[in-house]
Amino acid sequence: MAEETTTEILKGKIESLEERINVLEANLQDEREDLEKLKEVADQDHKKLESIKSVKPPTPTPVTPVGL
């Protein structure tokens, strides 16, 4: 009888661990998807910054001094 009780306890613990693992795997998958989205946004931002850097400021125009 002690063996059955121990076996049942172990089965319960195994099932509990399996459930926790499944939850962790689901959370990990969500985190991976979020990371992919963040990478896409970061790449887009990087491209925007690069395009801004490549735009040169307009050349200065000559200013004539105005007499007072």
Q: Residue 22 and residue 16: Cα distance in Å, rounded?
A: 10
Q: Residue 19 and residue 23: Cα distance in Å, rounded?
A: 6
Q: What's this model's pTM, rounded to 2 decimal places? A: 0.59
Q: Residue 54 and residue 48: Cα distance in Å, rounded?
A: 10
pLDDT for 4 equals 81
Share of the chain above pLDDT 90, in %: 63
pLDDT for 67 equals 66
Q: Residue 42 and residue 29: Cα distance in Å, rounded?
A: 20
Mean pLDDT of 49-62: 77
- The angle formed by the CA atoms of residues 13, 17 and 20, to the nearest 5 degrees, is 140
pLDDT for 50 equals 87
- pLDDT > 90? residue 11: yes
